[in-house]
Amino acid sequence: MGIIDEIKDRARQNRKTIALPETMDKRIYEAAQRIVEEDFADVVLIGTPEDIEKYGAGHDLSKVRIVNPFTDPNRQKYIDKFVELRGAKGVTPEKAEQQMTEDYMYYACLMCKCGDIDGVVSGACHSTGNTIRPALQLLKTKPGISSVSGFFIMEVPDCELGCHGRFVFADCAVNPDIDSEKLAEIALLSADSFEEFTGEQAKVAMLSYSTKGSAKHADVDKVAKAVEIAHSMYPDLVLDGELQLDAALVPKVGELKSPGSPVAGHANTLVFPSLEAGNIGYKLVQRLAKANAYGPLLQGLSMPVNDLSRGCYADDIVGVVAMTAVQAQLAFE
């Protein structure tokens, strides 16, 4: 069974309601129909009857809830919540109403904030920045977490490395400026994400082009400092670095370059030193190793909101909704 089928089974055990606000995209309707047919989550589509008629024609939406942001009886509650959360940033009732009806991602995040749904999936026809900015502004981080980051669950076929070819890669999507403190926090969140989705213990490698001082540069120092911070703040994490990718993954290279390391040669959670490295790294593995790349999923947000690639298929949307439903189960435990 692939990881997505396992995740759908988990989603079925405690159903959650996930909103899909991009009702101007045909793939959303195909995905919504499949999710209710596969019966692992409840779906809310946010859109007008005109949107639904134009883009959703031919799909059976009888089991999907549709919320029209112009006539929804809860609309005033969401305007009030928006002003409560963002009044200090200049959001008036008029601006709130305009923004949430022009950009349904804001509407979806307000529904989530008010507890009327459990999570949101968007990004099939919006950039990552435009997808996650409303979530950062309205939902904010979990207590004690300073930054949201983006991870992928990678499933590499015919691979014995990592956890039988399963990995978490981070940050591949969110933070263009990563310092040592952020890297250490990304390590903690990524370990949690790995364990939540695979049920196995995370072994975290803090990646670099150097292994344990083999190269000298400020970029290497940044990762080495992150390792020190992580060891002191999260002493229970199984984490090591700085490690080159081969030392992190391949047992023989790990033994040679970092003997005695609890992680080298066995890493399943890879923390990249920069957004460039993470974003390029996951795409290399996806394209050249033909790996399944699920994400970018967000970690560190107070409630689950996840992004899609604009090149996604309906099948990818179905998978990300299942993962969001499982994150919602854990968020409300």
Give 99 or 279: the residue with its C-beta nearer to ligand ACO. Answer: 279
175 touches ligand ACO (CB under 6 A): yes
3-state DSSP of the chain? CCHHHHHHHHHHHCCCEEEECCCCCHHHHHHHHHHHHHCCCEEEEECCHHHHHHHCCCCCCCCCEEECCCCCCCHHHHHHHHHHHHHHHCCCHHHHHHHHHHCHHHHHHHHHHCCCCCEEEECCCCCHHHHHHHHHHHCCECCCCCCCEEEEEEECCCCCHHHHCEEEEECCCCCCCCCHHHHHHHHHHHHHHHHHHHCCCCCEEEECCCCCCCCCCHHHHHHHHHHHHHHHHCCCCCEEEEECHHHHHCHHHHHHHCCCCCCCCCCCEEECCCHHHHHHHHHHHHHHCCCEEEEEEEECECCCEEECCCCCCHHHHHHHHHHHHHHHHHHCC
Q: Which of 17, 137, 214, 286 is close enough to bind ligand ACO by CB under 6 A?
A: 137
By beta-carbon proximity to ligand ACO, the closer residue of 128 and 211 is 128
Task: Decide: 195 and 204 in contact? Cβ < 8 Å.
Answer: no
For residue 74, state whether it binds ligand ACO (rule: CB under 6 A).
no
Q: Which stretch binds ligand ACO (CB under 6 A): 160-168, 172-180, 191-199, 254-262?
A: 172-180
Provide the minimum distance between the beta carbon of 82 and ligand ACO in the complex, in angstroms, as a whole number.
Answer: 13
Residue with Cβ nearer ligand ACO (56 or 296):
296
Does position 173 interact with ligand ACO (CB under 6 A)? The reply is: yes
Among 119, 265, 281, 296, the residue binding ligand ACO under the rule CB under 6 A is 296
174 binds ligand ACO (CB under 6 A): yes
Determine if 132 is a binding residue for ligand ACO (CB under 6 A).
yes
Out of 33, 122, 128, 180, point to the residue binding ligand ACO (CB under 6 A): 128
Q: Which is nearer to ligand ACO, 67 or 170 (CB)?
A: 170
Among 147, 214, 286, 302, binds ligand ACO (CB under 6 A): 147
Of 193 and 244, nearer to ligand ACO (C-beta) is 193
Nearer to ligand ACO among residue 120 and residue 148 (C-beta): 148
Shortest distance (Å) from residue 318 CB to ligand ACO = 18
| 33 is an interface residue for ligand ACO by CB under 6 A | no
Query: Nearer to ligand ACO by C-beta: 91 or 220?
Result: 91
Tokens 């109403």 belong to 97
Which residue, chain included where needed, has tokens 């263009």? 176
Query: With binding defined as CB under 6 A, does residue 186 bind ligand ACO?
Result: no
Does 133 bind ligand ACO (CB under 6 A)? Our answer is yes
Contacts of 148 (CB under 8 A, 6+ apart): 132, 135, 136, 141, 174, 298, 299, 300, 301
Q: How far is the CB of 296 from ligand ACO (least distance, A)?
A: 5
Instruction: Kindly list the residues in this chain that would bind ligand ACO in the complex (CB under 6 A).
Output: 89, 128-129, 132-133, 136-137, 141, 147-148, 173-176, 279, 296, 309
